[in-house]
Amino acid sequence: MYSQAIKNLEDICLEQDLVDICRIRNPTERRFTCRQKSPISQRRLDFRLVSATLQEDVESVDIIPSTKSDHSAITLGLNGIDDSKGGPSFCKFNFTLGNDNE
């Protein structure tokens, strides 16, 4: 089941042209986002996917400790985000979409 979930995620990334920016920027680093004390376990469960065409717009990406959680936070800084002029910042999720199986 786990291997099928990984394959499904890889297929989505290929279809949508997404890359794991943490892995792209730090290909040799072994950093973990989830830790368990007993039994001792470390895993990289969390990641940031970005469009491959927007890789150049990513200024920084880092994994930082999070308080009151066994998961670390992933920060993402984007170039030019301060230069853009935004409109109203209001988004409302249509909860009826949660009932749609497709």
Nearest CA-CA partner of 70 in 47, 30, 31, 36: 36
102 lies in a domain? no
34 lies in a domain? yes
Query: CA triplet 87, 49, 61: central angle to 5 degrees?
Result: 85
Handedness of CA 69, 70, 71, 73 (dihedral sign): positive
Residue 84's pLDDT is 58
57 lies in a domain? yes
Residue 31's pLDDT is 72
Number of domains in the chain: 1
Q: What is the pTM of this model?
A: 0.55
User: Looking at per-residue confidence, does 3 or 43 come out higher?
Assistant: 3
Query: Contact at 8 Å (CB) between 58 and 79?
Result: yes
- What is Dmax (Cα atoms) for the chain? 49
Query: Contact at 8 Å (CB) between 45 and 55?
Result: no
54 lies in a domain? yes
95 lies in a domain? no
46 lies in a domain? yes
pLDDT digits over 36-87, tens only? 677 776 666 667 788 888 888 888 887 777 777 777 777 788 887 666 566 6
98 lies in a domain? no
Q: Domain range holding 76?
A: 2-82
33 pLDDT tier (thresholds 50, 70, 90): low
97 lies in a domain? no
